[in-house]
């Protein structure tokens, strides 16, 4: 991964931050994109102090224009985008489905599913132009039941990226579910 440019969304903490760290350890130049810019910046500074090439950038995955500008800027500044890990997402307020408001449902869908789509589209356009790239979409274990949860649609999206990737020379990762120890930062890319 030496010299590859990787973007990890929703990486100010938890699993996303663990993925950033592992990619940095493998020599990737990692952009930690998150709405929590100060928190992402502190994490990036700590990893950079340990010799990793990590920087933070403010990214609102729910804003289509902002996502497109974000990826175009990275491509212009770095010359390429090699890896996208879509980790950003939110859960709904805990409530019975009969009490869940339309607004809450739309908020979760817009950030978690539509934000993933915006990032896949923006990065995919760049990767298509450069003839290579990898996209990893993170979904919860509930994603194995697409009828039951919005995150499940990310598995469908990953399948579509993978199928399209055969034509576009992109790789979409969608594998079997695995328990991820957020504290131990197990990386879905390399398994460590």
Q: pLDDT (tens digit, 9 = 90+) per residue, 85-102? A: 999 887 767 777 788 889
Structure tokens at 125: 């356009």
pTM of the model: 0.77
Digit-coded pLDDT (tens) for 122-167: 999 999 899 888 888 887 655 544 444 444 444 444 444 443 443 3
- Do the Cβ atoms of 33 and 26 come closer than 8 Å? no
Q: Which of 16-30, 56-70, 103-117, 131-145 has the lowest mean pLDDT?
A: 131-145
Strands 171-173 and 5-9: unpaired
Fold adopted by 5-173: Rossmann fold (3.40.50)
Q: Measured between alpha carbons, how far is 91 from 108 in angstroms, rounded to an integer?
A: 6
Give start and end residues of each alpha helix (H) in the chain: 14-25, 37-49, 64-78, 102-108, 115-130, 152-168
Tell me what the mean pLDDT of segment 68-77 comes to: 97
């Amino acid at each position: 991964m030496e010299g590859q440019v990787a973007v990890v969304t929703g990486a100010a903490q938890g699993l996303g931050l663990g993925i950033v760290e592992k990619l940095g350890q493998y020599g990737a130049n990692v952009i930690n994109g998150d709405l929590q810019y100060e928190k992402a910046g502190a994490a990036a500074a700590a990893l950079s102090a340990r010799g990793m090439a990590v920087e933070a950038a403010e990214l609102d995955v729910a804003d289509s224009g902002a996502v497109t500008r974000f990826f175009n800027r990275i491509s212009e500044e770095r010359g390429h985008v090699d890896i996208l890990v879509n980790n950003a997402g939110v859960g709904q307020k805990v409530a019975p489905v009969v009490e869940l408001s339309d607004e809450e449902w739309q908020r979760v869908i817009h950030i978690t599913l539509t934000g993933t789509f915006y990032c896949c589209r923006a990065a995919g356009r760049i990767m298509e132009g450069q003839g290579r790239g990898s996209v990893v979409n993170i979904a919860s274990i509930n994603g194995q039941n697409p009828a039951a949860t919005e995150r499940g649609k990310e598995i469908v999206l990953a399948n579509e990226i993978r199928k399209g990737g055969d034509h576009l020379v992109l790789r979409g990762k969608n594998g079997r579910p695995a328990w991820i120890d957020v504290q131990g930062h197990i990386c879905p890319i390399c398994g460590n």
